[in-house]
Amino acid sequence: MVPSISRARRPSPTNSHSPRRCERQKIVVDLSEVSFLSSIGIRLLLTSARGQAQRGGKLILTAPQPCVRGIIEAAGIDKLIALVADLDAARAALAD
């Protein structure tokens, strides 16, 4: 099976208010093995980034394959969510 963000599952209503979901976090999403990004995946990334920003956290995307990078750039997601080349760059961006 090819990894894809279109298969991401939404949190169940029973755990949507757990303490972990409500705290500020620094999140790195490693896209190195993702070969397809659907509109549902895009929405998941944007919603997650917005939620973290509202809590003072940060979400960074890293290492997308060329096809996925193209989708991210065409959709303008790279203007809303930091997109970096690798995990070292992500760590540096989170340190700021």
Residue-wise pLDDT tens digits, 10-67 = 444 444 444 456 678 999 999 999 999 999 999 999 999 999 999 999 999 999 999 9
Instruction: Say what the pTM is.
Output: 0.76
Residue 82 forms part of a structural domain: yes
By the 8 A CB rule, do 52 and 27 touch?
yes
Residue 46 lies in a domain: yes
**Is residue 57 assigned to a domain?**
yes
Task: Write the CATH number for 91.
Answer: 3.30.750.24
What are the residue ranges of helices labelled H in the chain?
19-22, 39-54, 66-74, 87-95
Q: Which domain holds residue 87?
A: 24-95
Q: Which two tokens stand for residue 21?
A: 């979901």
Residue 4 lies in a domain: no
Longest dimension (CA), the chain: 37
Q: For residue 78, tell me if it sits in a domain.
A: yes
Q: How many domains does the chain have?
A: 1
Encoded tokens for 53: 């920003």
CA distance 42 to 79: 13
On whether residue 90 sits in a domain, the answer given is yes
- Flag whether 6 is in a domain: no
